């Protein structure tokens, strides 16, 4: 099984790569990393994981990576993930979190449409949650309170949704 992790330099991405490595010889792990991201969390993966550099906002680099690895599974983890920063840089937040996701989904649709996908969400998409509503279920209303929370809405809820079904 071939797997690509977009956003591998983040906390979740690096730990996911470690876990997938434990699954054995039949798992080939690749990582897509932003060219300016620190290698601090992934240095131990060099030589064990195939890396592609680029930016999810650059559809060319995304297509190059996806067409090269042709993954069976993909984990979408890149994000500008700080709600407070999303107020300072809302356009950059939407660029990475929405358009970056669309670029990757389009790369998969074009190069390996049978690939199974996991796109991470965030509790920020639910907004203010009262104590009596915990634990939050997926049926809970989506009421984001920041550009970051809005950018993490499921694509089917987004006005930018491509409303397609992949694989």
> Which residues have CB under 8 Å from 120's CB, separation 6+?
12, 75, 76, 77, 79
pLDDT in tens, 101-135: 999 999 999 999 999 998 887 888 899 899 999 99
Which sequence spans correspond to the domains of the chain? 2-123
In this predicted model, what pLDDT tens digit does every residue of 77-86 receive, in sequence order?
A: 888 877 788 8
Under 8 Å between Cβ of 30 and 51: yes
Q: Which residues of 75-92 are buried (b: 16+ CB within 10 A; e: fewer)?
A: bbbbbbbebeebeeebee
Give φ, ψ of 147 to 5 degrees.
-55, -35
The 8-class DSSP code of residue 134 comes to: P
**CATH architecture, domain defined by 2-123:** 3-Layer(aba) Sandwich (3.40)
Any residues with CB less than 8 A from the CB of 85 and at least 6 apart, and which? Answer: 93, 148
- Is the pLDDT at 61 greater than 50, yes or no? yes
* Cα 81 from Cα 87, distance rounded (Å): 12
Query: Strand, coil or helix: what is 70?
Result: coil
State the residue for tokens 């356009």: 91
Read off the tokens for 30: 């690749």
Indicate the pLDDT class of residue 9, thresholds 50, 70 and 90.
very high
Residue 17 has pLDDT above 90, yes or no: yes
Res 165: pLDDT: 37
CA distance linking residue 78 with residue 117, whole number of Å: 14
CB 115 within 8 A of CB 166: yes
Angle between helices 59-69 and 100-111 (to 10 degrees): 40
């Amino acid at each position: 099984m071939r797997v690509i992790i977009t956003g591998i330099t983040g906390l979740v991405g690096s730990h996911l790569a470690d876990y997938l490595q434990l699954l054995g010889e039949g798992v080939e792990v690749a990582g897509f990393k932003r060219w300016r991201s620190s290698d601090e969390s992934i240095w131990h993966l060099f030589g064990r994981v195939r890396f592609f550099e680029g930016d999810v906002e650059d559809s060319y680099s995304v297509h190059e990576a996806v067409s090269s690895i042709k993954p069976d599974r993909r984990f979408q983890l890149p994000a500008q993930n700080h709600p407070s920063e999303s107020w300072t840089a809302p356009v950059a937040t939407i660029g990475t979190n929405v358009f970056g996701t669309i670029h990757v989904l389009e790369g998969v649709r074009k190069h390996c449409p049978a690939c199974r996908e996991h796109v991470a969400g965030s509790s920020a998409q639910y907004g203010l949650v009262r104590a009596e509503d915990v634990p939050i279920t997926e049926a809970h209303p989506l009421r984001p309170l920041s550009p970051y929370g809005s950018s993490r809405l499921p694509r089917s809820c987004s006005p930018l949704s491509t409303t397609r079904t992949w694989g």
